[in-house]
A and B are shown apart, each in its own frame.
Chain A
Amino acid sequence: MKRFPDATSIDGEAREATIGLLYRLADDDMTLGHRHTEWTGLAPILEADIAFSSIAQDQIGQARAFYTLLHELGEPDPDALVFARKPEDFRCCALCTLEKGNWAFSTMRQFLYDMAKQLRLQHLAESNYEPLAKLVRKLRGEQKYHVMHGHMWISRLGDATSESHAYMQEALDAQYGYALGMFESNELTAKAAKHGISPAEEQLCDEWKGQVHEALELAGLNIPQNATAKSGGRIGSHEPVFTTLLADMRSVYELDPAATW
C-alpha cells in the first residue's frame, strides 16, 4: 500500500480520508479537553484538580497538533478551525460534548475515551500518512499517563463503597451508548481504512470492548447490555449541549475576533 511522506504527496480519496480523520481526532480532543477544564478549581481535592487540569491541557495541546496537520493539508489555521468554524462542520463524537456531570461521570468518560484514544494512537503510529504517524509516536507518554489516571479512578471508585459503586455504575450506564458512538463508521472512515491511514472503526471498537470490559468487570461494574451507539457526531449532527459548549469556548474570542494575543 502506498505511503505518503508529506502533505504534498497525498491526493484524491486518501487525502480526503486523512482530512476527515484529522477532524475527528482534533475535534474530539478539543471538545473533551474543554469539558475537562470545567473541573479546574472544582475537583474533589487539590491533587485531583491539578492532575485533571493537566490532562485537559495535554488534550488541547494534542488537538492543536492535529489542527496543525490539517492546516498543512490546506485547511484553515487552528484558531480559525476552533473559533470560527460552523458547529455542523465539527466531527467530534457526542461523548466528548456532554456536560461534565459529577466526578464519577467525568472520570468514567475520561477512562472510556482515553482507552479508545490509546488504541487509536497505537494503530496510527503505523499510519500510511507519515506526518501523522510521526506525531502520534510523540504523544505516547502523555496518553499512557491518561490511561493510568482513568484506570486508577474507575478501579478505585468502582468497588470502594456501595455509594461510589452506584455513582460509577450510573455514569457507565448513562454513557456507554455514547462511548460506542466514538466508533461511528461511514464512507469516509472506510476510505481511511482502505488506504491504511487509520484502522477500521469496527476493528477498533472490538479491541476497545475487549480491554474496557475486562477493566470494568475487575472494578466490579456491570457492562450495560443492549446499549445502542449514539451516532451522528461524525457527520456533524450534534447534541444541543454542543452549541452551548462552543458558545462558552468562544465567548472571549468573539468579543474581538481580530485581536492579536
Chain B
Amino acid sequence: MGDTQWRVYEVFHQQSRGEPHVHVGGVHAPDAQVALLMAKEQYGRRQACVNFWVVPADAVTATDYSDVDIFEHGTDKSYREAYGYETSKRMREEDATRRVKAQTTKRPRSQREKQESES
C-alpha cells in the first residue's frame, strides 16, 4: 500500500519563548493549519511547548550526502573552534555571584519559601 496522499510537513518545536525552534519530526496533513493541530498532539503532549512551526517538507533544500567531503577540513582549522576561550567558565562564575547577591537582598521571600517547603 502506498503512502498517504497528504503531504509531509516538517515540525519544529519551541520549548520556551526565546529558545530556538528544534526539528522534532514530521506529520502528514492536507494543509499547514491541520499540520499544526496534528503536531500539537504528536510532539507537544509529552513536553513543555509554547510554539510550533510547520514547513512543507518539499520546501526544504538539502545538501547531497555524496558531497559530505565538503565538510572535512584539508588543513588544521582548530583556530576556528571556540575551545580556547573560557567564556562559559566566566559566565558561570558571574551567574553564581549574581545569585548570592539576589539571595542576600531578597531575604523575606526566601524565608517565606522555606516556611512553605517545611509545612
Contacts and interface: CB of A to CB of B under 8 A. Distances in A.
Contacts of B38: 47-48, 50-51
A161 B110 CA distance: 62
A148 B30 contact: no
Contacts of A48: 38
A54 B34 contact: no
Interface stretch (B39-47, B85-93, B97-105): B39-47
What size tier do the contact residues of chain A reach?
10 to 19
B28 interface: yes
Contact of B33 (A46, A51, A54, A152): A152
Contacts, number: 30
B26 to A, nearest CB: 10
Interface residues of B, number: 14
Nearest to A54: B41
A47 B42 contact: yes
Contacts of B34: 152, 156
Contact of A47 (B27, B33, B45): B27
Among A47, A51, A54, residue most surrounded by chain B Cβ atoms (within 10 Å): A47
Contacts of A149: 37
A145 interface: yes
B36 to A, nearest CB: 9
B33 A45 contact: no
B40 A47 contact: no
B111 interface: no
Contacts of A45: 4, 6, 28
Given A47-B41, A48-B38, 16 more contacts: A45-B28, A46-B28, A47-B27, A47-B29, A47-B42, A50-B41, A51-B37, A51-B38, A51-B40, A54-B41, A145-B37, A145-B40, A149-B37, A152-B34, A152-B37, A156-B30
Q: Can you list the 10 inter-chain pairs with the closest CB atoms, starting with the nearest?
A: A47-B38, A51-B41, A54-B41, A50-B41, A47-B27, A152-B37, A45-B4, A47-B28, A54-B45, A51-B38
